[in-house]
Every structure is written in structure tokens, then in C-alpha cells.
Amino acid sequence: MSLPRLEWAKQLKATGAEIGREGMSQRVIAAVDEFTGSYKGAMRLAGRLKAIAQMANADVYWQEQVDHGFMQELRSVEKPRPTPSPYIAHDEADV
């Protein structure tokens, strides 16, 4: 991790500790409310949420919630394994 990123992480964690759960939640709600609906805006929103998620490192429970959301999104983008066609002969090792 580069030095500026380490400093950002420290600053965001300190801000999270200062504003607490309610403050972090309010920032998420405000960011979503300000979302314009454009593709570019969506990615900027993702960046803002990433910074707020870093703030959650100050709170174990809130970090668990961030991790839960991350894993939920990760599962949604994982490619499902194709099921073998019943019409094609497969070797047991292939299945």
C-alpha cells in the first residue's frame, strides 16, 4: 500500500471513529440521494461509498456489515459453473 493510501486509510478510520455509525450511515444516504443516475455518476458514487466503507474500519460491527455487502456483491458477479448437458457423454472425471 502506498504512503498516500495509508494516510488516507488512517484519516478515514479516524473520521469513522469521530462521526460514528449514525454519521457514516448519513453520509451513505446523502451520497445515494445525490446520485444523478448516469454511468459516470454511478462510478463516482462507488468511489464515495468506498471511502465511507473505509471509515467503517473504526467500528467492528459496521465493518462486518460492509464485508457482508461486499461478499453479497462478489457472489452476484461470480460466474456460475455450467451444468453438463445430459445429451453429451461425459467422463466421470469431467463432471
- For residue range 15-51, list pLDDT tens digits in order: 999 999 999 999 999 999 999 999 999 999 999 999 9
| Residue 87: inside a domain | no
| Residue 95: inside a domain | no
Please, what is the average pLDDT of the chain? 89
| Percent share of the chain, pLDDT over 70 | 83
DSSP annotation of 81: P
| Residue 19: inside a domain | yes
Compute the distance between CA of residue 62 and CA of residue 24 in angstroms, rounded to an integer.
9
pLDDT given at position 85 = 66
Q: For the whole model, what pTM was predicted? A: 0.76
CB neighbours of 93 closer than 8 A, spacing ≥ 6?
A: none
> Is the pLDDT at 93 greater than 70, yes or no?
no
Residue range of the domain that includes 41 = 3-76
| Residue 29: inside a domain | yes
